[in-house]
Amino acid sequence: MRDLTARQQQILSLIQQHIADTGFPPTRAEIATKLGFR
């Protein structure tokens, strides 16, 4: 299995942190907002 790209690792870390904080995964909209998408 290949290693994650830096961007993939950033997204994975964001998801893991959100789950640790709230107990639920973030929505796609929350991920997009935190990564600077509109």
- CATH 1.10.10.10 assigned to 1-38: yes
> Would you state the pLDDT for residue 3?
96
CA–CA separation, 33 and 6 (whole Å): 18
> Would you state the pLDDT for residue 37?
86
For residue 19, CA distances in Å to 9, 29, 38 come to 15, 15, 22
Structural domain boundaries of the chain?
A: 1-38
> Would you state the pLDDT for residue 17?
98
Q: Spell out, as residue ranges, where the chain has pLDDT lower than 70.
A: none
Residues 6+ apart with CB under 8 A from 26: 14, 15, 18, 34
> Would you state the pLDDT for residue 38?
74
